[in-house]
Amino acid sequence: MRAITISEPGGPDVLQVTEEPTPDIAPDEVLVTVHAAGVNRADLLQRQGFYDPPAGATLIPGLEVSGTIAELGSEVTGWKVGDRVAALLSGGGYAESVPVPAGQLLPVPDSLDLTEAAGLPEVLSTVHSNIVGNANIQTGEWLLVHGGGSGIGTAAIQVAKHLGVKIVVTVGSKRKAEFCRSLGADAVINYRDEDFVERVHEICVRPDGSTGADVILDIIGAKYLKSNVKALGTDGRLVIIGMQGGAKAELSIATLMQPRKSVAGTTLRARPKEQKIAIVTEVAAQLWPAVISGDICPIVHETLPLSEASKAHTALEEGANIGKVLLIVDESAQATKSAQSV
């Protein structure tokens, strides 16, 4: 099978198309013929040599795909060959075939474009597991999400609206601000022009008159740690899921104790299979009906053929994208699409 492999740690040019053995499947897995694969920042970190796959996982990058089931493991029930699916992976998505634990599959209805479906498993699993599972967000609370125009950000806006949560996002351009508002964000802060801590306390006013975000979903890390804690209200919860702004920062514990603020850091890829299956099960129950109805939609910035994976990585690094960048693995089924006008 064709796959993208990493010749050595480095820039996008180290991604190359190679011929790899078609993987075998375990009894509890299915083999998916990949139609499209989502591109995530974790893939960029892996390419750069900063984010190794979990033990036992393939070195082929790619954490989410869409496609059709080609083969069933002996213990798999409830699925059949030919089913259209989207899947959360530990790796291997940048390839023509990938083995997937059956519990990490989501059904793709005929109403949902199979290409676009590849942009949902990772972001929905990340958003839901962190704001609901880790932060226990409640209806009516305020959620702050950094990077509102990203795949995570555009998904978080829609999930927040679905859950009855009020959401404010930070962005770096007028174009992204306008799109986030059109998607349903209650407020948008341009971090280049405004102090997001000050603005959050102006925007996020609670029923008792106190201010600050109830939950913050952060992709920046160290650079924003102190500011994020300041932006939280009493009993606020900060969940860090990325380190684009570094990994080390100092924080006074006193700033957490009296106002009962908490800080947690999580990753999705490194979780054991059982936890991933539990998360996908929650997404299937709580969010997938809204995907099927169209209330939650994939936001796709650009699609590129698998052979142009380096361009996809460059697009994500440049940061101009709104929503997801996807790789079309089945290049015979669909020619390269130009960026959507978002």
Q: Are 68 and 85 in contact (CB under 8 A)?
A: yes
What kind and span of H or E run contains 100? strand 97-101
Phi then psi dihedrals of residue 169, to 5 deg: -125, 155
C-alpha to C-alpha distances, 150 to 29, 41, 119, 188, nearest whole angstrom: 31, 10, 12, 14
C-alpha to C-alpha distances, 270 to 69, 91, 122, 267, 283, nearest whole angstrom: 25, 11, 13, 6, 18
pLDDT at 33 over 70: yes
DSSP 337: B
pLDDT at 279 over 70: yes
The per-residue pLDDT for 303 is: 97
> For residue 329, which of 293, 304, 310 has the smallest C-alpha distance?
304
The per-residue pLDDT for 331 is: 74
Please write the tens of the pLDDT for every residue from 168-215.
999 999 999 999 999 999 999 999 999 999 999 999 999 999 999 999
Task: Tell me the mean pLDDT in the region 274-288.
Answer: 98
- Residues shown for the chain: 342
Distance CA 208, CA 170 (A): 25
Share of the chain above pLDDT 70, in %: 97
pLDDT at 340 over 70: no
Distance CA 163, CA 134 (A): 15
SS percent in the chain: helix, strand, coil, step 5: 30, 25, 40
Helices 151-163/174-183 angle, 10° precision:
30
> For residue 140, which of 112, 124, 163 has the smallest C-alpha distance?
163
The per-residue pLDDT for 333 is: 58
Distance CA 231, CA 301 (A): 30
Bin 49: left if φ > 0, else alpha if -120 < ψ < 50, else beta: left
3 state SS of 325: strand
> For residue 62, which of 100, 30, 11 has the smallest C-alpha distance?
100
Please write the tens of the pLDDT for every residue from 238-264.
999 998 888 889 998 999 998 999 999
Confidence class of residue 232 from pLDDT cuts 50, 70 and 90? very high
The per-residue pLDDT for 330 is: 83
Task: Tell me the mean pLDDT in the region 275-302.
Answer: 97
The per-residue pLDDT for 335 is: 46
3 state SS of 110: coil
Q: Are 280 and 303 in contact (CB under 8 A)?
A: no
pLDDT at 12 over 80: yes
Confidence class of residue 276 from pLDDT cuts 50, 70 and 90? very high
pLDDT at 35 over 70: yes
Please write the tens of the pLDDT for every residue from 118-177.
999 999 999 999 999 999 999 999 999 999 999 999 999 999 999 999 999 999 999 999
Confidence class of residue 282 from pLDDT cuts 50, 70 and 90? very high
Q: Are 10 and 48 in contact (CB under 8 A)?
A: yes
Q: Are 214 and 235 in contact (CB under 8 A)?
A: yes
pTM listed for this prediction: 0.93
DSSP 53: P
